[in-house]
Structure 1
């Protein structure tokens, strides 16, 4: 059995490393900061539109377009669930109706049933769709993977397209709706209010955010939320060119929920090494060893949740 698994892994790696003319979205095709339009017209609607954002993350929305997929092989999956991590690949993501959401299907990817203190899930809007309110005390982060949504909150209306996002503070009444089809990635957690302050509504576009210094590393980093102590988590966008990898082999108390948006590579989780590609989701528990290297011919990009700004002694979970 070990020989079979080794041969299968070598086969997969051999195919993955083969040049492909239908590879993932390249860095050159991504919008520059100057290509992003921020208009506050149209009857008070804040229009956040990255140019050429349509279908930017198409291999998340339509995973069978990825260069390598074995979804038709009976019984086969790359998904793995372990005590301190999980890899949930597209063929294992189960969508179903979600209570309170209209014309919507959801796939819960990470939940407290795993031991996490947050939830991470996909939502597919099917047209004339709307979201339910989160539970009391729960904060919500919405990332638009595909399509567009309208967010109404605090007397303002925001049109958010693919690669745009919104953070909604706990206890904030809001409406999320879409006339057409769209796909969302949502993170939710119960807000840890040890500092006695209330976070603010945040609406933004990924590629507008500045690149931050990453001492000792080569990847590009953007943080989508403010780094001050009011916020108890942040969302990072991390970009790797082919052949780049994490220098640090991380072991830390923070939890992670990751979606690979573009590209492919190898992720070390604990003692295991997993080939990963766009559309894959990874849950990382505290202190699991973790490391990533980008493969292929074009960049890797992933979005990742990280809890921050709270004392782990006071907030162990």
Structure 2
């Protein structure tokens, strides 16, 4: 980076246990054992107040994992933003490109390898799986192009894509939510579920705990439980983001 050219400023907002906005300008490279030739930033973690861990990773030429990621009760998920990667689970290889994703069960590990001629960019997630008697999740491999988008809450200018099956075996899901310019949530949401959202395109105004905050492509937002939240899509292109949501489970006391 070298010497700064202006005053040191940031759009970051960190409310531990509440919510966070993390723009790309402040991200640093985290050295994570088991990853080679990868630029890794840990976005959300229990240190922030999240019950999961989100990463944004640029895999350079030769980028790969050298040991299994997840397993031993930890479920994992990877989404390919750009490039092409190979995901290996239990000696079976899956090739995913932009828009492709893989969910790996908590009983298995996944290995990742960049097989693109240039860099590949991925969004990676892990969480401790909350089991449910009589149900076992399975590996899911797909692409958002195969899922298709539908209207969100009966609004034609807001679209949603669901990634995982609607089955009690899964204690979480991933979605892509897209707002056309001028579109918004139907109401201000206040709920027990957490989200970790990475903005894929566009600009918006997000209400986080009753404060309106401008957001844009490549920003990351963590939403803690019960934080009031909603947004408007603004600008010239659609506001679109991928996000996780815990589901299908009661609260553990």
TM score, norm. by length of structure 2: 0.91
Instruction: Name the residue aligned to 1:128.
Output: 62
In structure 1, C-alpha distance between the alignment counterparts of 2:168 and 2:55, rounded to whole Å? 25
In structure 1, C-alpha distance between the alignment counterparts of 2:95 and 2:114, rounded to whole Å? 10
In structure 1, C-alpha distance between the alignment counterparts of 2:181 and 2:150, rounded to whole Å? 20
- Structure-2 change in CA distance of 1:258 and 1:73 (3 Å): farther
Aligned residue among 2, 5, 14 for 1:81: 14
| Residue 96 of structure 1: how far off its partner (Å) | 2.8
Structure 1 residue runs of 5 or longer lacking an equivalent are 1-70
Are 2:180 and 1:241 equivalent residues in the alignment? yes
Instruction: Name the residue aligned to 1:281.
Output: 220
In structure 2, C-alpha distance between the alignment counterparts of 1:115 and 1:269, rounded to whole Å? 16
| Higher percent of residues as helix | 1
CA RMSD of aligned residues (A): 1.7
| Residue 128 of structure 1: how far off its partner (Å) | 1.2
The answer to whether the Cα contact below 8 Å between 1:98 and 1:105 also exists between their aligned partners in 2 is: no
> What are the Cα deviations for residues 7-53 of structure 1, in whole angstroms up to 9, with x where unaligned?
xxxxxxxxxxxxxxxxxxxxxxxxxxxxxxxxxxxxxxxxxxxxxxx
Q: Larger deviation: 129-138 or 251-260? A: 129-138
Are 2:70 and 1:138 equivalent residues in the alignment? no
| Residue 75 of structure 1: how far off its partner (Å) | 1.1
| Residue 271 of structure 1: how far off its partner (Å) | 2.4
In structure 2, C-alpha distance between the alignment counterparts of 1:96 and 1:279, rounded to whole Å? 18
After TM superposition, the structure 1 = structure 2 runs for residues 233-312 of structure 1, keeping only pairs within 5 Å, are 233-312=172-251
Structure 2 residue runs of 5 or longer lacking an equivalent are none
> What are the Cα deviations for residues 201-239 of structure 1, in whole angstroms up to 9, with x where unaligned?
111111221333533444101110111110010001111
Instruction: Name the residue aligned to 1:204.
Output: 142
The answer to whether the Cα contact below 8 Å between 2:69 and 2:110 also exists between their aligned partners in 1 is: no
In structure 1, C-alpha distance between the alignment counterparts of 2:5 and 2:27, rounded to whole Å? 15
Instruction: Name the residue aligned to 2:111.
Output: 175
The number of residues matched between the two structures is: 244
| Residue 272 of structure 1: how far off its partner (Å) | 1.4
The answer to whether the Cα contact below 8 Å between 2:39 and 2:58 also exists between their aligned partners in 1 is: yes
In structure 1, C-alpha distance between the alignment counterparts of 2:26 and 2:20, rounded to whole Å? 12
| Higher percent of residues as strand | 2
The answer to whether the Cα contact below 8 Å between 2:83 and 2:98 also exists between their aligned partners in 1 is: yes
Point out the structure with max Rg over C-alpha. Answer: 1
